[in-house]
Amino acid sequence: MTVSNRIRSGESGFTLIEVLVSIVILTVGLLSLAQMMVLATSSNTLSGRMTSSSALAKEQLERLKAAPYYTDPRAQTRNPMLADGGDIDATIGGYVQYYDADGIPTAGAGGAMYEVRWEIQTFPSPLPLSMVQIRVRCLPAAGMQDQFAIIGEARFTTFRTANVG
C-alpha cells in the first residue's frame, strides 16, 4: 500500500514534529509539578514547625499559670516558679527548657530543636492584688537556624494575680 492509498483510506498517524512538540509540552508541565511539590513540602515543614512552637510555648505558659501563686498563702510567700527573672530574648538558666523534634525535654541545648524561654515580672497594682506578667517564647534552638527561623517561633503573654492581705 502506497502513501497516497493510506491517506485516501483514512489511515493517518502523527508526524515526528507533532510527537516532539507533545514531548516538550509534557516536560514543561511535569517540571512545573515537580517545583510545586518542592514548595508544598517546604510549606508543610514550616507549618509543622509553627504548630510545634506554638504547642510548646502554650504548654509552658499553662504550666506557669497552673502553679500555685503562693507556696504559703498566710505568709504570702510567692512560688519560686513565679519568681521575677528570665528574659525571652536571652537564655537565662532556670528560665529556659530545650526540646527535641518530638517535643520531649532534653537536658541541654545539644541536639535540641526548640528552645522555650520565659520571663516573669512583678507589676505594681493600685488594688490589693499581687500581679505578675508572664511572657513565653519558643524559637528554634541554636544550630537549628535557617531562613524560616523567625517565622517558626511563638510568643504568648498573660497576667497572674493573687489577693494581698
Q: Which residue has the cell 505558659?
A: 61
- Domain extent, residue 126, equals 20-163
Spatial separation of the C-alpha atoms in residues 129 and 5, rounded to whole Å:
102
The answer to whether residue 14 sits within a structural domain is no
The answer to whether residue 137 sits within a structural domain is yes
CB 46 within 8 A of CB 151: yes
The answer to whether residue 15 sits within a structural domain is no
The answer to whether residue 13 sits within a structural domain is no
Report how far Cα 163 is from the mean position of its chain's Cα atoms.
36
Q: Which tens digits make up the pLDDT trace of 57-90?
A: 999 999 999 999 998 888 888 899 999 999 999 9
Spatial separation of the C-alpha atoms in residues 127 and 125, rounded to whole Å:
5
CB 101 within 8 A of CB 113: yes
The answer to whether residue 72 sits within a structural domain is yes
Spatial separation of the C-alpha atoms in residues 150 and 46, rounded to whole Å:
11
Return the closest-CA partner of residue 56 out of 110, 105, 6: 105
Q: Which tens digits make up the pLDDT trace of 114-164?
A: 899 999 999 888 888 889 999 999 988 876 666 555 567 889 999 998 888
The answer to whether residue 12 sits within a structural domain is no
pLDDT confidence of 41, banded at 50, 70, 90? confident
Element (H, E) at 58: helix 16-66
| DSSP state, residue 5 | H
Q: Please give the tally of structural domains in the chain.
A: 1
The answer to whether residue 6 sits within a structural domain is no
Spatial separation of the C-alpha atoms in residues 115 and 86, rounded to whole Å:
13
pTM: 0.73
* Beta-carbon contacts of residue 106 (< 8 Å; ≥ 6 apart): 98, 99, 100, 112
R_g of the chain, CA atoms, integer Å: 30
